[in-house]
């Protein structure tokens, strides 16, 4: 590599480091190219200026200079030997002198490997290669010190468990539990970023389980941790926590390829599956004979989901989509009890809007009963609902059901100005559309005038 040669000719050490080395050992294509060097930032920038088409120094205070050439983006960081203030996870940056020292300060041994360039020498002072073979996560130094220095590493442990399918060694797991409260000093945005990466990883269930087991979920997703409280020693209803994990697994199985309606990995579907029953602990009631009910847990759960996602600084659209799926996930169950009218089917589709394909999958994933007959009955009912949706969609543009007259037409026909009355009239026409399907222009005008005569 020409870049390595430039550093070598300038008298500096240069190495590929961290994730790309780990992924190469696992046979996974590397997407990011991270390098480390003995050169100080100013020297690094001079070399990158000679090599790249563009360079940037936005991370210079932390020793990182970036550059790109022919679509290849690289980041080069000076060896570091940081110290941490116990009240903050932000390090007091200090540059180091050795590659081994730089590797030892990293989060996990599997990320603490490097390949010296251009000699291609593997440098593995912490036994990362052995841990890759054993599929284990552990820290290069005492995990108490590592997690105390940077508590976000606790979340990264859960995320790498989900991403790599590795286990966490006992000492590291114990430190996660002991220092979970240190996550309180980490910004919500950083927590959210790790949670998002965990949920779109190949094995999110593993990450969720380690979070719950270590008490991390109580700090990050207390609503999910609380599902454990619904475990019923008398067996009067299913284990909601285990049910939730199964729903996540089943929702993932229902994702599609890139050409399908819900391409994998889909964060919105997966997170809705994780949160769909969080309203149950707050709504659980025991009736006659020990019967357990969770009335309106969907509505309560949607509010809880919205609140948690706002606290974690999720964007508004993602928050809206996930909480809406939680709110709608029970809607289908009335279909299996009684045949819906065309109006009810239209409203189901309209209420789901652009989330319909995800709602299909969440609803199907929510069936975890071991009763084979019940499972087959629910499957048949949902098959029938989807068939009816398709049939109605052929007759009308069901996914975009709107009143037969728009706001401008309503104002012109009734001779009114913009205001609440237009909204009331529009709602009336939408209800008509839901109940009877599309109306022709003449009928819609006639119905609107009749409504106005009685209500205005």
| Overall number of domains in the chain | 4
pLDDT tier at 89 (50, 70, 90 boundaries)? low
315 plus 392 within the same structural domain: yes
CA angle 17/18/20 to nearest 5° reads: 85
**99 and 37, same structural domain?**
yes
Q: Is the pLDDT of residue 380 over 80?
A: yes
Q: Which domain holds residue 260?
A: 221-400
Q: State pLDDT tens for residues 243-296.
A: 999 999 999 999 999 989 999 999 999 999 999 999 998 888 877 766 777 778
Q: Are residues 232 and 267 in the same domain?
A: yes
Query: In CATH, what number is assigned to the domain containing residue 215?
Result: 1.10.110.30
Cβ contact 322:275 at 8 Å: yes
- Average pLDDT, stretch 100-110? 95
Residue 364 is part of a domain; what is its CATH number? 1.10.3210
pLDDT at residue 365 is higher than 90: yes
Whether residue 197 is found in the same domain as residue 97: no
73-87, 178-192, 327-341, 441-455: the lowest-pLDDT one: 327-341
Name the domain boundary from 117, 134, 151.
Answer: 134
Task: Scan for tokens 């948690």, then name that residue.
Answer: 308
The secondary element (H helix, E strand) that includes residue 72 is strand 72-78
Tell me: do 96 and 206 sit in the same domain: no
**Residue 130 and residue 148 in one domain:** no
Note whether 353 and 381 are same-domain residues. yes
Q: Of 199, 220, 241, which closes a domain? A: 220
Residues 390, 346 within the same domain: yes
- Specify the residue for token string 């399918």: 165
Q: Which of 116, 121, 122 is nearest to 5 (CA)?
A: 116
Residues 6+ apart with CB under 8 A from 138: 108, 109, 131, 168, 169, 171, 172
The predicted model gives 44-73 an average pLDDT of 92
Query: Do 439 and 367 reside in the same domain of the chain?
Result: no
For the segment 435-455, the average pLDDT, to the nearest whole number, is: 83
pLDDT at residue 75 above 90? yes
pLDDT of residue 93: 78
Q: How far, in Å, CA of 99 to CA of 40, rounded?
A: 13
How far is it, in rounded angstroms, from Cα 365 to Cα 201?
Answer: 18
Write the CB contacts of 107 (distance below 8 Å, at least 6 apart in sequence).
139, 146, 150, 153, 156
- pTM score of the predicted model: 0.82
Asked whether 54 and 20 are in contact (CB, 8 A), the reply is no
Contact 74, 35 (CB under 8 A): yes
- CATH number for the domain including 96? 3.30.460.10
Are 69 and 125 members of one domain?
A: yes
Q: Is 176 exposed, middle or buried (0-12, 13-18, 19+ CB in 10 A)?
A: buried
Final residue of a domain: which of 134, 155, 190? 134
Q: pLDDT value at position 159?
A: 98
Within a 13 Å sphere around the CA of 297, how many CA atoms are in the beta-carbon half?
21
pLDDT of residue 406: 83
Each residue of 317-359: pLDDT tens digit?
999 999 999 999 998 876 656 677 888 888 888 889 899 999 9
* Pairing label, strands 72-78, 33-37: parallel
Confidence of residue 234 (pLDDT cuts 50, 70, 90): very low
């Amino acid at each position: 590599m020409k870049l390595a040669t430039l550093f070598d000719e300038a008298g500096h050490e240069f190495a590929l480091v961290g994730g790309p080395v780990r992924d190469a050992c696992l046979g996974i294509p590397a997407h990011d190219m991270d390098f480390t060097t003995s050169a100080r930032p100013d020297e690094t920038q001079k070399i990158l200026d000679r090599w790249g088409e563009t360079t940037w120094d936005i991370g210079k205070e932390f020793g990182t200079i970036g550059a790109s050439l022919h679509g290849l983006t690289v980041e080069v960081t000076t060896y570091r030997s940081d110290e941490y203030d116990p009240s903050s996870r932000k390090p007091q940056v200090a540059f180091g002198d050795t590659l081994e020292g730089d590797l030892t300060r990293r989060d996990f041994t599997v990320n603490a490997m490097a390949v010296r360039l251009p000699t291609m020498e593997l440098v593995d002072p912490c036994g990362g290669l052995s841990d890759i073979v054993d599929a284990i996560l552990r820290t290069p130094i005492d995990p108490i010190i590592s997690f105390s220095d940077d508590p976000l590493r606790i979340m990264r442990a859960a995320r790498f468990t989900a991403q790599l399918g590795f286990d966490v060694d006992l000492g590291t797991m114990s430190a996660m539990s002991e220092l979970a409260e240190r996550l309180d000093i980490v910004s919500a945005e950083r927590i959210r970023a790790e949670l998002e990466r965990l949920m779109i990883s190949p094995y999110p269930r593993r990450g969720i389980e380690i979070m719950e087991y270590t008490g991390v979920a109580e700090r990050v997703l207390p609503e999910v941790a609380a599902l454990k409280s619904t475990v019923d020693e008398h067996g009067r209803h299913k284990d909601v926590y285990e049910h939730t994990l199964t729903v996540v697994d089943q929702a993932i199985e229902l994702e599609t390829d890139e050409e399908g309606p819900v391409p994998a990995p889909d964060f919105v579907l997966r997170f809705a599956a994780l949160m769909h029953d969080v309203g149950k602990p707050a709504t659980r009631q025991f009736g006659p004979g020990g019967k357990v009910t969770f009335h309106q847990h969907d509505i309560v759960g949607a509010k809880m989901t919205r609140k948690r996602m706002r606290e974690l600084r999720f964007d508004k659209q993602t928050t809206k989509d996930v909480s809406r799926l939680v709110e709608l996930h029970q809607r289908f169950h009335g279909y299996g009890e009684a045949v819906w009218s065309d109006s009810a089917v239209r409203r189901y589709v309209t209420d789901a809007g652009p989330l319909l394909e995800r709602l299909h999958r969440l609803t199907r994933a929510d069936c975890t009963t071991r009763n084979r007959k019940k499972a087959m009955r629910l499957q048949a009912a949902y098959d029938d609902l989807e068939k009816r949706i398709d049939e109605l969609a052929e007759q009308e543009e069901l996914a975009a059901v709107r009143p037969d007259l728009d706001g401008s037409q309503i104002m012109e026909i009734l001779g009114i100005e913009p205001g609440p009355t237009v909204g009331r009239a529009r709602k009336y026409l939408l209800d008509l559309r839901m109940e009877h399907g599309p109306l022709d222009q003449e009928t819609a005008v006639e119905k609107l005038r009749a409504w106005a005569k009685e209500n205005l």
